[in-house]
Amino acid sequence: MPSQLDQLKKTGTTVVCDSGDFATIDKYKPQDATTNPSLILAASKKEEYAKLMDVAVEYGKQHGKDIEEKVDSTLDRLLVEFGKEILQIVPGKVSTEVDARFSFDYQGSIDKALHIIELYKSIGIDKSRVLIKLASTWEGIKAAHTLQTEHGVNCNLTLMFSLPQAIAAAEAGAYLISPFVGRILDWYKASTKKDYSPQDDPGVKSVQAIFNYYKKYGHKTIVMGASFRNKGEITELAGCDYLTISPNLLEELYNSTDDLPQKLIASDAQKLDIPKKSYINDEPLFRFDFNEETMAVEKLREGISKFAADAITLKDILRKKING
């Protein structure tokens, strides 16, 4: 019997590795890889990645009028250095995140995204192999729309916890979205003080609802479930376009030969009665409908703050190296 990882790939799901630790990526043969500031921070503390840090620091010392500009330049280059290494392992794309402090800055997000793409280009990597990760705020979604339509830059809208965010992202023409599963489960467990089976998992149900909406209305944006807490969440989403999975859960799938049937089937969505909505030209409606989703509002705020804090920690490390 093939492993559950192989069975998952056979359901039509593209498997992506959610890690900045590229030494662990190759074993599972993912198509793509995703990173974020927290993953890069964790990986950058390991000795085997010191050489990437050195390259980024040398670059940063030459780019910037003052120490803060040099630190920003170093961080951008570090993200790109990790991306370059990952792209030597995966055949597809790498997701590189725009600093979370730009989450409410439409133009700042665009400028930072284009700068990251230019940095990749400067080391010989075409934009077709990069996804720019942006938070699924109104400003992030509108920035993705501009990047996709005017610059041909593919975007991954992350920190997604609700259907309004997903609908707006699809209308924006985002290449891919990352609805978070485990963080939704975390919120419900804390809120209700109860446990959930994979079948009843509210994070799983959120991704199922987004997948069905997209397939019913013919949206081309890729649905990539993310942020998993257990293997059951993954097996319940077999058949989703993409799933980005941490190395420890990839290992569990790799070591299991239990049956893994397809759960999400695009053609089944046609039969469902799902009301159609539109947000891309209606900011007040988007903000109101999103605001009605207490969990999504709280988890988006928390996610932005956490990624921003980890970016600050990473910058502090880089600042010491620049000054050292």
Rounded CA gap, 300 and 288, in Å? 15
> Are the beta carbons of 234 and 243 closer than 8 angstroms?
yes
210 token code pair: 């987004």
Neighbours of 164 (CB within 10 A): 22
User: What residues contact residue 319 under an 8 Å CB cut-off, 6+ apart?
Assistant: 67, 71
User: What residues contact residue 194 under an 8 Å CB cut-off, 6+ apart?
Assistant: none
DSSP string, 39-106: HHHHHHTSGGGHHHHHHHHHHHHHS-SSHHHHHHHHHHHHHHHHHHHHHTT-SS-EEEEPPGGGTT-H
Which 8-state DSSP code applies to residue 117?
H
Tell me whether residue 133 is one of the annotated catalytic residues.
yes
Listed in sequence order, the DSSP H helices in 236-292 are: 247-255, 283-291
Strands (E), 161-255: 176-179, 222-225, 242-245
Identify the active-site residue in 93, 112, 133, 263. Answer: 133
C-alpha 303 chain-centroid distance: 12
* Backbone phi and psi for residue 278, each to the nearest 5 degrees, phi listed first: -140, 135
87 token code pair: 């792209």
The residues carrying an active-site annotation are 133
